[in-house]
Chain A
Amino acid sequence: MSPITLIFYFLSAITLASAFLTIYSKNPIHSAIYLVICMVSIVGHYLMFNAQFLALVQLIVYAGAIMVLFLFTIMLMNLNKEDEVHKPRITRLGAIVVFVITSIILVSIFIHSKTIMGDYDTSGEDFQSIRKLGQVLLNEYMVPFEFASILLLVAMIGVVLLSKKEKTEK
Protein backbone atom coordinates (compact mmCIF):
# COMPACT_ATOMS: atom_id res chain seq x y z
CA MET A 1 0.00 0.00 0.00
CA SER A 2 1.44 3.24 -1.06
CA PRO A 3 1.41 6.11 1.32
CA ILE A 4 -1.04 7.98 -0.84
CA THR A 5 -3.57 5.21 -0.46
CA LEU A 6 -3.05 5.11 3.28
CA ILE A 7 -3.51 8.81 3.55
CA PHE A 8 -6.67 8.52 1.44
CA TYR A 9 -8.15 5.87 3.68
CA PHE A 10 -7.25 7.81 6.76
CA LEU A 11 -8.82 10.97 5.48
CA SER A 12 -11.92 9.14 4.31
CA ALA A 13 -12.36 7.56 7.70
CA ILE A 14 -12.15 10.91 9.39
CA THR A 15 -14.64 12.40 6.89
CA LEU A 16 -17.18 9.66 7.31
CA ALA A 17 -16.83 9.38 11.02
CA SER A 18 -17.14 13.07 11.65
CA ALA A 19 -20.12 13.34 9.33
CA PHE A 20 -21.86 10.54 11.14
CA LEU A 21 -21.06 12.00 14.51
CA THR A 22 -22.44 15.36 13.37
CA ILE A 23 -25.77 13.78 13.00
CA TYR A 24 -25.60 11.50 15.93
CA SER A 25 -24.48 13.76 18.72
CA LYS A 26 -27.01 15.35 20.99
CA ASN A 27 -25.34 18.62 21.62
CA PRO A 28 -25.58 21.03 18.67
CA ILE A 29 -22.25 22.59 19.54
CA HIS A 30 -20.64 19.20 19.31
CA SER A 31 -22.32 18.66 15.97
CA ALA A 32 -20.91 21.91 14.70
CA ILE A 33 -17.42 21.00 15.84
CA TYR A 34 -17.65 17.64 14.14
CA LEU A 35 -18.78 19.30 10.98
CA VAL A 36 -15.74 21.57 11.07
CA ILE A 37 -13.54 18.52 11.35
CA CYS A 38 -15.37 17.01 8.34
CA MET A 39 -14.77 20.12 6.29
CA VAL A 40 -11.10 20.17 7.16
CA SER A 41 -10.74 16.57 6.12
CA ILE A 42 -12.27 17.41 2.81
CA VAL A 43 -9.68 20.14 2.49
CA GLY A 44 -7.17 17.40 2.82
CA HIS A 45 -8.84 15.51 0.00
CA TYR A 46 -8.67 18.55 -2.21
CA LEU A 47 -5.00 18.99 -1.49
CA MET A 48 -4.38 15.44 -2.56
CA PHE A 49 -6.01 16.35 -5.86
CA ASN A 50 -3.67 19.30 -6.15
CA ALA A 51 -6.70 21.59 -6.29
CA GLN A 52 -4.99 24.27 -4.29
CA PHE A 53 -7.39 27.06 -4.88
CA LEU A 54 -10.43 25.05 -3.97
CA ALA A 55 -8.82 23.68 -0.87
CA LEU A 56 -8.12 27.14 0.41
CA VAL A 57 -11.48 28.48 -0.56
CA GLN A 58 -13.16 25.55 1.18
CA LEU A 59 -11.16 26.25 4.28
CA ILE A 60 -11.88 29.93 4.30
CA VAL A 61 -15.52 29.88 3.22
CA TYR A 62 -16.85 26.67 4.63
CA ALA A 63 -14.83 26.02 7.70
CA GLY A 64 -14.17 29.67 8.30
CA ALA A 65 -17.35 31.51 7.48
CA ILE A 66 -20.23 29.07 7.28
CA MET A 67 -19.42 27.05 10.31
CA VAL A 68 -18.77 30.17 12.30
CA LEU A 69 -22.18 31.36 11.24
CA PHE A 70 -23.68 28.12 12.43
CA LEU A 71 -21.96 28.40 15.74
CA PHE A 72 -23.09 31.94 16.22
CA THR A 73 -26.68 30.97 15.49
CA ILE A 74 -26.52 28.05 17.88
CA MET A 75 -25.20 30.25 20.58
CA LEU A 76 -27.79 32.89 19.80
CA MET A 77 -30.56 30.43 20.39
CA ASN A 78 -28.93 29.09 23.42
CA LEU A 79 -28.99 25.48 22.38
CA ASN A 80 -26.23 24.38 24.54
CA LYS A 81 -28.01 21.84 26.49
CA GLU A 82 -30.20 19.91 24.22
CA ASP A 83 -33.03 17.77 25.29
CA GLU A 84 -34.44 16.81 22.08
CA VAL A 85 -37.39 14.58 21.74
CA HIS A 86 -36.76 12.00 19.15
CA LYS A 87 -38.90 11.58 16.14
CA PRO A 88 -41.40 8.80 16.23
CA ARG A 89 -39.88 5.36 16.00
CA ILE A 90 -41.39 4.64 12.63
CA THR A 91 -39.91 7.78 11.15
CA ARG A 92 -36.48 6.89 12.42
CA LEU A 93 -36.81 3.44 11.02
CA GLY A 94 -37.92 4.91 7.75
CA ALA A 95 -34.94 7.19 7.71
CA ILE A 96 -32.57 4.29 8.18
CA VAL A 97 -34.27 2.32 5.46
CA VAL A 98 -34.07 5.27 3.12
CA PHE A 99 -30.43 5.69 3.91
CA VAL A 100 -29.72 2.12 3.01
CA ILE A 101 -31.77 2.18 -0.12
CA THR A 102 -30.32 5.43 -1.36
CA SER A 103 -26.80 4.34 -0.82
CA ILE A 104 -27.34 1.06 -2.55
CA ILE A 105 -28.97 2.70 -5.53
CA LEU A 106 -26.39 5.34 -5.97
CA VAL A 107 -23.48 3.00 -5.54
CA SER A 108 -24.85 0.47 -7.94
CA ILE A 109 -25.55 3.13 -10.50
CA PHE A 110 -22.11 4.49 -10.38
CA ILE A 111 -20.51 1.08 -10.44
CA HIS A 112 -22.45 -0.07 -13.42
CA SER A 113 -21.82 3.03 -15.46
CA LYS A 114 -19.21 2.61 -18.07
CA THR A 115 -15.99 4.48 -17.86
CA ILE A 116 -14.92 6.38 -20.88
CA MET A 117 -11.26 6.25 -20.26
CA GLY A 118 -9.74 2.95 -19.34
CA ASP A 119 -6.54 4.36 -18.05
CA TYR A 120 -5.99 7.48 -16.12
CA ASP A 121 -3.58 9.47 -18.12
CA THR A 122 -2.09 12.75 -17.35
CA SER A 123 -2.38 15.33 -20.05
CA GLY A 124 0.60 17.01 -18.65
CA GLU A 125 -0.75 20.47 -19.12
CA ASP A 126 -1.87 22.54 -16.34
CA PHE A 127 -5.61 22.40 -15.79
CA GLN A 128 -6.26 23.38 -12.29
CA SER A 129 -3.75 25.88 -11.16
CA ILE A 130 -5.18 29.10 -10.03
CA ARG A 131 -4.05 30.81 -13.17
CA LYS A 132 -5.90 28.38 -15.35
CA LEU A 133 -8.90 28.54 -13.10
CA GLY A 134 -8.93 32.30 -13.30
CA GLN A 135 -8.72 32.19 -17.06
CA VAL A 136 -11.61 29.78 -17.35
CA LEU A 137 -13.70 31.70 -14.85
CA LEU A 138 -13.29 35.05 -16.44
CA ASN A 139 -13.50 33.90 -20.05
CA GLU A 140 -16.15 31.27 -20.45
CA TYR A 141 -17.96 31.63 -17.19
CA MET A 142 -17.98 35.39 -17.04
CA VAL A 143 -21.73 35.78 -16.76
CA PRO A 144 -22.23 33.26 -13.98
CA PHE A 145 -19.34 34.86 -12.19
CA GLU A 146 -21.04 38.24 -12.22
CA PHE A 147 -24.32 36.68 -11.31
CA ALA A 148 -22.76 35.02 -8.36
CA SER A 149 -21.86 38.42 -7.03
CA ILE A 150 -25.39 39.61 -7.49
CA LEU A 151 -26.60 36.48 -5.76
CA LEU A 152 -24.46 37.23 -2.78
CA LEU A 153 -25.71 40.77 -2.74
CA VAL A 154 -29.31 39.63 -2.79
CA ALA A 155 -28.66 37.10 -0.08
CA MET A 156 -27.13 39.77 2.06
CA ILE A 157 -30.07 42.08 1.63
CA GLY A 158 -32.47 39.26 2.30
CA VAL A 159 -30.71 38.24 5.45
CA VAL A 160 -30.66 41.76 6.77
CA LEU A 161 -34.37 42.13 6.13
CA LEU A 162 -35.30 38.78 7.57
CA SER A 163 -33.50 39.24 10.80
CA LYS A 164 -34.82 42.64 11.56
CA LYS A 165 -36.83 42.73 14.69
CA GLU A 166 -40.33 44.05 14.18
CA LYS A 167 -40.64 46.99 16.41
CA THR A 168 -44.38 47.54 16.14
CA GLU A 169 -46.15 44.42 17.25
CA LYS A 170 -43.93 42.96 19.91
Chain B
Amino acid sequence: MNNILNQIGIENYIFLSVLLFCIGVFGVLYRRNAIIVFMSIEIMLNAVNLLFVAFSTYHQDAEGQVFVFFSMAVAAAEVAVGLAILVSVYRNLGSIDIDNLKNLKG
Protein backbone atom coordinates (compact mmCIF):
# COMPACT_ATOMS: atom_id res chain seq x y z
CA MET B 1 0.00 0.00 0.00
CA ASN B 2 1.19 3.40 -0.71
CA ASN B 3 2.33 5.48 2.14
CA ILE B 4 -0.52 7.74 2.82
CA LEU B 5 1.85 10.42 3.71
CA ASN B 6 2.82 10.62 0.09
CA GLN B 7 -0.54 12.08 -0.57
CA ILE B 8 -1.16 14.12 2.50
CA GLY B 9 2.24 15.01 3.82
CA ILE B 10 3.32 14.90 7.42
CA GLU B 11 2.91 18.63 8.00
CA ASN B 12 -0.83 18.39 7.82
CA TYR B 13 -0.89 15.79 10.49
CA ILE B 14 1.37 17.93 12.59
CA PHE B 15 -0.95 20.85 12.26
CA LEU B 16 -3.92 18.74 13.09
CA SER B 17 -2.30 17.25 16.14
CA VAL B 18 -1.02 20.57 17.43
CA LEU B 19 -4.35 22.24 17.00
CA LEU B 20 -6.09 19.43 18.76
CA PHE B 21 -3.63 19.62 21.63
CA CYS B 22 -4.06 23.34 21.98
CA ILE B 23 -7.80 22.94 22.01
CA GLY B 24 -7.32 20.56 24.87
CA VAL B 25 -5.12 23.05 26.75
CA PHE B 26 -7.66 25.73 26.16
CA GLY B 27 -10.35 23.57 27.54
CA VAL B 28 -8.41 22.82 30.70
CA LEU B 29 -7.92 26.47 31.43
CA TYR B 30 -11.30 27.70 30.34
CA ARG B 31 -13.88 25.54 32.04
CA ARG B 32 -14.76 25.23 35.69
CA ASN B 33 -16.56 21.96 35.50
CA ALA B 34 -14.18 19.19 36.47
CA ILE B 35 -15.73 16.69 34.05
CA ILE B 36 -15.11 18.98 31.12
CA VAL B 37 -11.53 19.43 32.29
CA PHE B 38 -11.08 15.69 32.23
CA MET B 39 -12.51 15.49 28.77
CA SER B 40 -10.06 18.16 27.62
CA ILE B 41 -7.25 16.06 28.98
CA GLU B 42 -8.56 13.16 26.94
CA ILE B 43 -8.52 15.35 23.86
CA MET B 44 -4.87 16.16 24.53
CA LEU B 45 -4.01 12.50 24.89
CA ASN B 46 -5.72 11.69 21.65
CA ALA B 47 -3.86 14.40 19.83
CA VAL B 48 -0.58 12.94 20.95
CA ASN B 49 -1.63 9.44 20.00
CA LEU B 50 -2.50 10.65 16.55
CA LEU B 51 0.88 12.19 16.12
CA PHE B 52 2.59 9.05 17.30
CA VAL B 53 0.79 6.96 14.73
CA ALA B 54 1.60 9.48 12.02
CA PHE B 55 5.28 9.30 12.83
CA SER B 56 5.20 5.55 13.09
CA THR B 57 4.08 5.50 9.48
CA TYR B 58 6.71 8.09 8.65
CA HIS B 59 9.48 5.94 10.05
CA GLN B 60 7.84 2.69 8.94
CA ASP B 61 8.33 1.44 12.47
CA ALA B 62 6.00 -0.34 14.84
CA GLU B 63 7.32 1.27 17.96
CA GLY B 64 5.18 4.34 17.64
CA GLN B 65 2.06 2.24 17.68
CA VAL B 66 3.32 0.24 20.64
CA PHE B 67 3.64 3.49 22.52
CA VAL B 68 0.11 4.44 21.57
CA PHE B 69 -1.02 1.09 22.90
CA PHE B 70 0.51 1.79 26.27
CA SER B 71 -0.70 5.33 26.25
CA MET B 72 -4.24 4.11 25.86
CA ALA B 73 -3.82 1.67 28.72
CA VAL B 74 -2.57 4.41 30.96
CA ALA B 75 -5.31 6.75 29.84
CA ALA B 76 -7.91 4.21 30.74
CA ALA B 77 -6.46 3.70 34.20
CA GLU B 78 -6.14 7.42 34.70
CA VAL B 79 -9.70 8.15 33.74
CA ALA B 80 -10.95 5.49 36.10
CA VAL B 81 -9.01 6.80 39.05
CA GLY B 82 -9.68 10.41 38.21
CA LEU B 83 -13.38 9.90 38.01
CA ALA B 84 -13.34 8.01 41.30
CA ILE B 85 -11.63 10.98 42.93
CA LEU B 86 -14.13 13.30 41.31
CA VAL B 87 -16.99 11.30 42.74
CA SER B 88 -15.41 11.51 46.21
CA VAL B 89 -15.04 15.23 45.86
CA TYR B 90 -18.63 15.50 44.77
CA ARG B 91 -19.71 13.52 47.78
CA ASN B 92 -17.73 15.77 50.13
CA LEU B 93 -18.29 19.18 48.65
CA GLY B 94 -21.52 18.80 46.84
CA SER B 95 -20.32 20.31 43.61
CA ILE B 96 -17.59 19.70 41.11
CA ASP B 97 -16.51 23.23 40.60
CA ILE B 98 -12.75 23.16 40.67
CA ASP B 99 -12.60 26.63 42.10
CA ASN B 100 -13.98 25.19 45.31
CA LEU B 101 -10.92 23.03 45.86
CA LYS B 102 -8.98 25.66 47.73
CA ASN B 103 -7.85 23.83 50.85
CA LEU B 104 -4.22 24.13 49.82
CA LYS B 105 -4.47 27.87 49.85
CA GLY B 106 -1.66 29.80 51.50
Tell whether any CB of A sits under 8 Å from a CB of B in the complex: yes
CB closest residue in chain B, given A50: B1
Contact of A15 among B8, B20, B36 (CB under 8 A): B20
**How many residue pairs, one in A and one in B, have C-beta atoms under 8 Å apart?**
220
Question: Closest approach, in angstroms, between the C-beta of A97 and any C-beta of chain B?
Answer: 10
Decide: B62 and A77 in contact? CB cutoff 8 A: no
Per-residue CB contact flags for chain B residues 29-72 toward chain A (1 = under 8 Å, else 0) read: 11111011011101100100110011011101111011011101
Decide: A42 and B87 in contact? CB cutoff 8 A: no
Decide: A54 and B69 in contact? CB cutoff 8 A: yes
Give the total of B residues in contact with A, Cβ under 8 Å. Answer: 74
**14 A-B pairs whose Cβ atoms sit less than 8 Å apart in the complex:** A5-B8, A16-B19, A46-B50, A46-B53, A70-B35, A73-B83, A77-B96, A84-B97, A92-B30, A107-B14, A122-B60, A137-B66, A158-B81, A158-B84
Find chain B residues with CB under 8 A from A132 CB: 62
Question: Closest approach, in angstroms, between the C-beta of A38 and any C-beta of chain B?
Answer: 7
Decide: B46 and A128 in contact? CB cutoff 8 A: no
Decide: A50 and B32 in contact? CB cutoff 8 A: no
Find chain A residues with CB under 8 A from B60 CB: 122-123, 125, 127
Find chain A residues with CB under 8 A from B30 CB: 23, 87, 92, 95-96
Residues of chain A in range 39-65 having any CB-CB distance to chain B below 8 Å: 39, 42, 45-46, 48-51, 53-54, 57-58, 61-62, 65
